[in-house]
């Protein structure tokens, strides 16, 4: 089996699990002897102004150059299957047509809710938002300036997503979709994607090794943005005496985190860390905090915490409650509930033995479900089923 991987890369200056998943899955394919070729946009171009991109990408609707590029890659590499990740804003859905013309079946990983929400996260102003979920053209997202706080950018993205929703481009041309959680699969079935095309494969991460270090703090690692629940953590630590909270990452709320750390000695901002640095941070934590507001399907940071034997305190949004088993591999609290989050933190502090047991259970869960090996085996099953269906 020969696999062509297609990905519009995100800026590495902001933490994101999608780039990491593409990297880890591609490396696992190569390690198992699967010939793989990657078509990827360089992250440095993602900040290019829309006006400069101009008609070259037709505002994210269609890119003739991307279609030609992918078709050339197909002609050169002769893949059996194309695995597509992010297409916005440069590659666009035009690459589906290149695959169709060459009769190459397509597998698409759904890393977010972009087909249903132009803000990607079903979240607005730090709260869940479903106003656009049943609309072909997400006009409420334009009214609320959900993309870059800009009406213009919101219109561009609404148009790009809406045109392909109206045409049914993805539903028609993609042979198999990968949803990282059952809750995400259900969302897309409701949106009209046939259930037999939607397959669940959770995120994964490399084995960073079970930690035996003393547990001294709580930690958060990831994108510092509203949908991640960062503000909830800052409010909680401002209202109580608690062990140190270490926050690692970058994003639009980095300034808020820096100001909170300057005002509160119990908060430390560690900045942007490598994956190894994040694992070291987690390995000395009482628990990793994942207070996401959006329906995060399968957060990589949870798997990373499990790999070092650290339990997770997670919100019940999306895949959070499906990934973290309450009182077994961590604690789950109602999304956005500050008091309930505080109770979970207090409970972790008051019961260190239970935290250690949950950490060991989390490590077992990592071995059984979230290792790169397990993920690769599941991915190959999806590829094989896709090829069989395409052949029929």
Q: Is this structure's pTM higher than 0.85?
A: yes
**Cross-strand partners of 4:** 37, 82
Does residue 314 surpass a pLDDT of 90? yes
Write the pLDDT tens digit of every residue in 218-248.
Answer: 999 999 999 999 999 999 999 888 799 999 9
Max mean pLDDT among 91-105, 113-127, 316-330 falls in: 91-105
The pLDDT, as a whole number, for residue 46 is: 41
> What is the CATH number for 350?
3.40.50.2000
Compute the Cα dihedral for 379, 381, 384, 386 and give only its sign: negative
d(CA 101, CA 142): 34
Task: Note the helical H segments in the chain.
Answer: 17-31, 50-53, 64-77, 94-101, 139-143, 151-167, 169-173, 182-190, 230-238, 254-263, 275-283, 300-307, 320-323, 338-350, 352-365, 372-391
Identify the residue whose tokens are 């034997």.
309
Q: State the Cα–Cα distance between residues 330 and 349, nearest whole angstrom.
A: 13
Do 254 and 279 lie in a common domain? yes
Q: What percent of the chain has pLDDT over 70?
A: 95
Residue 59 pLDDT grade (very low, low, confident, very high; cuts 50, 70, 90): low
Peptide bond into 266 cis (omega under 30): no
Residues 188 and 61 in one domain: yes
Domains: count for the chain = 2
Q: Is residue 152 part of a domain?
A: no
Average pLDDT over residues 313-319: 87
pLDDT, tens digit, 9 for 90 and up, residues 326-350? 999 999 999 999 999 999 999 999 9
Range of the domain at 14: 3-111+175-204+372-391
End-to-end CA distance of the chain: 18
What number of other Cβ atoms are within 10 A of residue 323's Cβ? 27
Residue 106 lies in a domain: yes
Average pLDDT estimate for 80-107: 95
pLDDT of 322 reads 84
Q: Tell me the C-alpha distance between 261 and 25, whole Å.
A: 36
Is residue 166 domain-resident? no
Please count the other Cβ atoms lying within 10 Å of the Cβ belonging to residue 317. 25
Q: Flag whether 269 is in a domain.
A: yes
List Cα–Cα distances, 339 to 176, 204, 237, in angstroms. 41, 31, 12
Asked if residue 308 and residue 283 are part of one domain, the reply reads: yes
């Amino acid at each position: 089996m020969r696999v062509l991987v297609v990905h519009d890369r995100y800026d590495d200056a902001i933490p994101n699990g999608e780039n990491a998943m593409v990297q880890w899955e591609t490396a696992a394919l190569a390690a198992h002897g699967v010939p793989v070729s990657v078509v990827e946009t360089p992250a440095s171009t993602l900040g290019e102004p829309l006006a400069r991109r101009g008609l070259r990408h037709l505002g994210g609707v269609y890119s003739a150059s991307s279609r030609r590029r992918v078709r050339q890659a197909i002609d050169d590499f002769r893949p059996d299957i194309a695995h597509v990740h992010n297409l916005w804003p440069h590659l666009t859905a035009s690459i589906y047509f290149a695959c169709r013309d060459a009769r190459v079946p397509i597998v698409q990983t759904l890393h977010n809710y972009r087909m249903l929400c132009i803000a990607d996260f079903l979240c607005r102003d730090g709260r869940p938002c479903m106003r656009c979920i049943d609309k072909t053209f997400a006009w409420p997202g334009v009214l609320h300036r959900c993309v870059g706080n800009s009406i213009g950018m919101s219109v561009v993205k609404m148009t790009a997503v809406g045109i392909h929703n109206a045409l049914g481009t993805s539903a028609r041309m993609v042979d198999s979709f990968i949803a990282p959680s059952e809750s995400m699969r259900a969302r897309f079935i409701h949106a009209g994607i046939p259930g037999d095309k939607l397959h669940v494969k959770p995120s994964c991460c490399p084995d960073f090794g079970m930690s035996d270090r003393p547990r001294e703090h709580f930690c958060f690692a990831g994108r510092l943005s509203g949908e991640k629940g960062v503000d909830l953590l800052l409010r909680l630590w401002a209202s109580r005496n608690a062990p140190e909270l270490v926050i690692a990452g970058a994003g639009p709320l980095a300034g808020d985190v820096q100001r909170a750390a300057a005002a509160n000695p119990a908060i430390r901002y560690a900045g942007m860390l490598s994956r190894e640095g994040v694992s070291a941070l987690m390995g000395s934590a009482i628990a990793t905090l994942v207070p996401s507001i959006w329906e995060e399907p399968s957060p990589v940071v949870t798997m990373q915490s499990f790999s070092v034997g650290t339990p997770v305190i997670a919100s019940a949004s999306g895949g959070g409650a499906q990934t973290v088993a309450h009182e077994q591999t961590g604690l789950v609290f109602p999304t956005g509930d500050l008091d309930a989050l505080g109770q979970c933190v207090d409970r972790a502090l008051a019961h260190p033995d239970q935290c250690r047991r949950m950490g060991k259970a989390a490590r077992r869960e990592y071995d059984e479900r979230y290792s790169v090996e397990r993920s690769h085996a599941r991915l190959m099953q999806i590829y094989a089923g896709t090829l069989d269906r395409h052949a029929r």
